[in-house]
Amino acid sequence: MSLALSTLLYEWRRYMAAVMALALSGLLVLGMAGVFIGIGKGFTATIERSSADIIIMQPGAKSLIGGPAGVPRRFIPLAYNHPEVVEVQPLDGAGGSFQSVRNVDPTKSVAERARAGAPKQNFVQTSIIDTRPGSVTIPTDYSPELVEALRQPYTVAIDETAMRSLGVKLGDKALYNGQTVTVAAILRGYPNMMQQSIVMSRDTLRMVGQADTGPRVGPLMVKLSDPTRAEVVAEQLNQQGDGQWKAWTRQDLADANQSAMFEQGPLIIILGGVTVVGIIIGVAITWQTLRGAIMANIKEFASLRALGVGMASLRRIVVELSFWVGVVGVAAAIGLTWLVAVFAGTQGVLIALQPQALIAVGGGLISIAMISGLLSLGVLKNSQPADLLR
């Protein structure tokens, strides 16, 4: 084991401040990015788990919900023109108020009723499925029982993370735009921190009077006879559409959707600001810690100099030391962020830890540590062997 690594492991307390500073900088950036990506994932979950092999939208649109993505109804038969297309269904959706209903027990006192809490009202986003088995609008992770449940008129499904804020549980009744609906199913894995959402069947949407009936419909969900040919068919559909529409493969759309989120100004500013703060904190504390640690061993370094070990070799020791501090810092940052993510998960907040983000932040932290190491090289000039001769 090298001198640098031995020193780090043996005198780890001395380096704790630097490791913690790196871990916190990493947590700051990873956590922020994780929250944003988590928010994005809430939106893209619908795309990624859709059964559609291809999605046709208005050119320029990158997201299924929010923003104009729909196309003229006449595009549906046009899409069927392609021989490999087996099903085309427009996505539909709406929004409305969602109010939990309390069964009031008339025998209870006013005080007891008050303690039970007032009904909650939220604005929710509504999306639909077709309840015919195997339909292209049914997400891949929906069970047949779930589809079956939604086939009943006036039923809705909500994500488990939305139960608390919507104030309902399985089997509860609620008012959707003033009409009574029943929570017939609970979803897993569709958290959405920005806006609660509910799912219902296209028929229920029609019954509550919100289905598209006009000349425009939502994005077209397209099923192919051979899903592996999605890229090729999307290409051909785009040629066929001649600029009137854009056909995306599911994966391309999910990627575009997520990166579109990061093109938004405020996110970049927040993330950039957090990164700058993280770098400043990381460098400042790591630099000072390394300086102190080198000064603590300066006599030992000086004795090596006396024995003829050159300054360049000592510098290498310091740079190696700072590299290892960085490595430990990355491990601590990932551990810490993971803990926070687990905790956040219990609170219904999704912090997504993506490999790319981990690699980028990890590389950044090691760079911060090594920059700090380079900055602290200056103190090595105090390793004057002549000072040992007194």
Partner 1 sequence: MMTTKSHGKHGDFAIEAKGLVKRFKSGKAYVEVLKKVDFDARHGDLTMVMGPSGSGKSTLIAALSGLLRPEEGRVDTLDVDDLWKLSSGKIDKFRLDHCGFIFQGFNLFPALTALQQVETVLKFQGLTPAAAKKRATLALEEVGLKPRLHQRPSALSGGEKQRVAIARALAKDPQILFADEPTSALDGENGQIVIRLLRRAASEHGAAVICVTHDPRLEEWADRVIKIEDGIIIDDQRRTPNPNATLASHH
Radius of gyration from C-alpha coordinates of the chain: 29
Site for partner 1, residues 348 to 387, rule: CB under 8 A: 385-386
Shortest approach of partner 1 to residue 7 CB, angstroms?
4
Shortest approach of partner 1 to residue 320 CB, angstroms?
13
Cα dihedral sign, 374-380-381-382? positive
In the bound state, the residue with its beta carbon closest to Mg ion is 390
Site for partner 1, residues 258 to 297, rule: CB under 8 A: 297
Query: Is residue 226 a contact point for partner 1 (CB under 8 A)?
Result: no
Contact 123, 95 (CB under 8 A): yes
Site for partner 1, residues 73 to 132, rule: CB under 8 A: none
| Closer of 148 and 387 to Mg ion (Cβ) | 387
| Closer of 110 and 312 to partner 1 (Cβ) | 312
| Closer of 344 and 388 to partner 1 (Cβ) | 388
Cα dihedral sign, 370-375-376-378? positive
Query: Is residue 13 a contact point for partner 1 (CB under 8 A)?
Result: no
Q: For residue 277, give both structure tokens.
A: 């703060």
Shortest approach of partner 1 to residue 9 CB, angstroms?
7
Query: Is residue 231 a contact point for partner 1 (CB under 8 A)?
Result: no
Pick one of partner 1, Mg ion, none as the site partner of residue 112 (Cβ within 5 to 8 A by kind): none
Those residues with Cβ within 8 angstroms of residue 24's Cβ, 6 or more apart along the chain or in another chain: 278, 281, 333, 336
| Closer of 115 and 390 to Mg ion (Cβ) | 390
Contact 133, 165 (CB under 8 A): no
- DSSP at 214: S
Query: Is residue 309 a contact point for partner 1 (CB under 8 A)?
Result: yes
**Number of chain positions touching partner 1 (CB under 8 A):** 25
Burial class (CB in 10 A: 0-12, 13-18, 19+), 307: exposed
| Closer of 312 and 389 to Mg ion (Cβ) | 389
The one-letter amino acid code at 242 reads D
Q: What is the dihedral of CA 65, 66, 69, 72, to 10 degrees?
A: 90
| Closer of 374 and 388 to partner 1 (Cβ) | 388
